[in-house]
Structure 1
């Protein structure tokens, strides 16, 4: 097999307080000389200055490329930018608030050589904004289970921890750039599942920071208004992801009548109802939802239950 070349991509946005450690963990990768592309998406908090300081004077084996977008492109746009700037056939993903173990890239390289996946992921140590361990089971995403079907992948909103992902360049280039509002783990994971070429490394190779940026969870939200905004944004992203998956499934060659296509269309309808629930007036929501009464009832029940659970968990102590 032809030796693989690696590109480590570090995507950053308004992560001034954590980006120095993220850059240092990239530079410290114990692997063959590789390309490191650090792309800041027009941060407004001094993140790029921290990046420049962190790489200043670096004389190690890896080749570092810095990019600062003059305007904010969003995750999908920034990802397209680093793909254009990079040359490696294996892309190792990282964010400016997470840390990679020194052996991460070497383990990824070994797995690509041994198993020839299009995408792989690993487990992660989950930490809070202060860097302290977070308790809980974070291995519930679909790819961490014993088996899955493409229909299950099409429906899933949690395939793997995105901060642990790596993929072959052809997985991105073969289907084309992702649409705005989508996330790489949910799109690239689906693409790899269509080909049946997904691998999992059963090791904690990343420290994944929960509670900052797009990794925030409900536990870190301040009030009901922020909870509702998060739910609306989640449904908007879900719609974008399902639309992208539908386009990718069509590009892959699935027919419009295939079970996977039917799943994707249903998930888009569910996302549209969720958007309407949080964005429209009650009467406008009912008017739209009556076209799909079963999905309407499921949406109302689920969102009311989520809201009650959030409010109960945020009651002030007596």
Structure 2
């Protein structure tokens, strides 16, 4: 039987009000002694002081490592930092506004032993900023379905709820550090799918908080300006993700003629047009879209429809 060591990584940034509970949910994990690496990305609101207070006096079985970046590195940079600081075979991801059930790491360890994935995810309970349940179906991401193709993965912007993820450290090290602006669930999920080694635990092992930081949904934005800023940010992240996926596909050995690579190129063009839609004047957007008029229509119609829905359904913060 294969044995694994575990590292629980907790990435924090300006999450003072929620981070104490997030740290406590790491410390009470009912699993073999493991490493817990908590890395704060130069928060400005006292988050790291809350982290230090939460671990003060801890005498349990797990080894705790604290880090505070002297400058903000962004998600990709902070993730690279914790990989450098960690030693575990399995990396269990967590954020400073989410909570792990006490059995989460044990269930992850059991699944790695039984199925030997490179990446696994689980279901999540979705809660609002106040900790109350959010109604809705949150099992629509691609990896939560029974079947998916590599082309679908290449196109997808929702593979799994990132707060539920865990991966073998080789998945990160074999391909290298992620590009700035990209997200680990969309990059690491694609890397694991390239090799056909993705597993799902059909249990709610994480309480995922919607409405804080990068997890905010459109419904929690206060005004149209905030909405447009978020949409632009989303297209910039999409571009970074698709560029990283293309680099990973090449590293894996896919050629420019492969169907997957063609999908990635198209998604990059769509991201470029989305950026232009929110960043440029209408005439500049039209000029850039001349080479891809059908994609231009798709982007413009989709964004107008989404904006109308936001105006109808948005609820002010507070």
Identify the TM-score tier after normalising by the shorter chain.
over 0.9
> For residue 17 of structure 1, what is the aligned residue in structure 2?
17
Q: CA offset at residue 3 of structure 1?
A: 1.0
> For residue 236 of structure 1, what is the aligned residue in structure 2?
236
- Once residues 313 and 20 of structure 1 are traced to their aligned partners in structure 2, the CA distance between those partners, rounded to angstroms, is 32
> For residue 86 of structure 1, what is the aligned residue in structure 2?
86
> For residue 216 of structure 1, what is the aligned residue in structure 2?
216
Partners of 2:222 and 2:315 within 8 A in 1: no
Root-mean-square deviation (CA, aligned residues, Å) is 0.9
TM-score (norm 2): 0.98
- Once residues 290 and 306 of structure 2 are traced to their aligned partners in structure 1, the CA distance between those partners, rounded to angstroms, is 22
Q: CA offset at residue 283 of structure 1?
A: 1.1
Q: Deviations over 1:3-33 (max 9, x none)?
A: 1000000000000000000000000000000
Regions of 4+ moved over 6 Å? none
Partners of 2:2 and 2:113 within 8 A in 1: no
> For residue 75 of structure 2, what is the aligned residue in structure 1?
75
> For residue 201 of structure 1, what is the aligned residue in structure 2?
201
- Once residues 313 and 199 of structure 1 are traced to their aligned partners in structure 2, the CA distance between those partners, rounded to angstroms, is 35
Unaligned runs of 5+ in 2: none
- Once residues 142 and 71 of structure 2 are traced to their aligned partners in structure 1, the CA distance between those partners, rounded to angstroms, is 35
Q: CA offset at residue 2 of structure 1?
A: 3.3
- Once residues 301 and 3 of structure 1 are traced to their aligned partners in structure 2, the CA distance between those partners, rounded to angstroms, is 52
Q: CA offset at residue 312 of structure 1?
A: 1.6
Residue 28 (1) aligns with residue 28 (2): yes
Query: What SS is found at the alignment partner of 1:131?
Result: coil
Residue 57 (1) aligns with residue 61 (2): no
Q: Deviations over 1:44-86 (max 9, x none)?
A: 0000000000000000000000000000000000000000000
Residue 46 (1) aligns with residue 46 (2): yes
Residue 173 (1) aligns with residue 142 (2): no
- Once residues 313 and 61 of structure 1 are traced to their aligned partners in structure 2, the CA distance between those partners, rounded to angstroms, is 47
- Once residues 30 and 111 of structure 1 are traced to their aligned partners in structure 2, the CA distance between those partners, rounded to angstroms, is 15
> For residue 246 of structure 1, what is the aligned residue in structure 2?
246
Q: How many pairs were matched up?
A: 316
- Once residues 37 and 315 of structure 2 are traced to their aligned partners in structure 1, the CA distance between those partners, rounded to angstroms, is 44
Unaligned runs of 5+ in 1: none
Q: CA offset at residue 282 of structure 1?
A: 1.1
- Once residues 90 and 82 of structure 1 are traced to their aligned partners in structure 2, the CA distance between those partners, rounded to angstroms, is 13
Query: What SS is found at the alignment partner of 2:192?
Result: helix
